[in-house]
């Protein structure tokens, strides 16, 4: 017996694989922090590195991966590359997930997901 899907069709396997790859990129706290910062507005790599507390070369590498995945874009402003998130749905996903967890963390003490000694 088929489950009621509420009128929604399952996406093709290729779409699910692409979504999983994008979520995999966001599984890095550094890249997620960069995406959070860019969801607030565009920035160059120097300002992003300062904001997220990362080394300039590392932030550049993260941005290159995010750009290849189509999660961020860049435009030239003189000699600088300005990075931004061009897809409002990606901004929404990042803001909802991080914002929800931040609100939850303010309400209750943070518990580690790792077991002691693991």
Domains in the chain: boundaries: 23-97
What pLDDT is recorded for position 62?
Answer: 96
What is the mean pLDDT for each group of 10 consecutive residues in the chain (118 residues)?
A: 69 92 89 93 97 96 94 96 92 88 79 54
Q: How far is 54 from 38, CA to CA, in rounded Å?
A: 15
What pLDDT is recorded for position 5?
Answer: 64
What pLDDT is recorded for position 108?
Answer: 74
In DSSP terms, 80 is beta-bridged to 77
Give the closest residue to 59 by CA, choosing from 77, 78, 74, 40.
74
What pLDDT is recorded for position 72?
Answer: 95
What pLDDT is recorded for position 73?
Answer: 96
Indicate the pTM of the whole model: 0.76
Domain 23-97: assigned CATH number: 1.10.10.10
């Amino acid at each position: 017996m088929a489950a009621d899907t509420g009128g929604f069709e399952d996406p093709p396997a290729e779409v699910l694989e692409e979504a999983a790859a994008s979520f995999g990129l966001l599984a890095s706290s550094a890249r997620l922090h960069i995406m959070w910062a860019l969801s607030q507005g565009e920035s160059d790599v120097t300002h992003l590195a300062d904001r997220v507390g990362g080394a300039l070369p590392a932030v550049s590498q993260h941005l290159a991966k995010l750009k290849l995945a189509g999660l961020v874009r860049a435009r030239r402003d003189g000699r600088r590359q300005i990075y931004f998130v061009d897809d409002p749905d990606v901004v929404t996903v990042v803001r909802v997930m991080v914002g929800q967890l931040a609100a939850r963390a303010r309400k209750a003490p943070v518990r580690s997901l790792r077991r002691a000694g693991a």
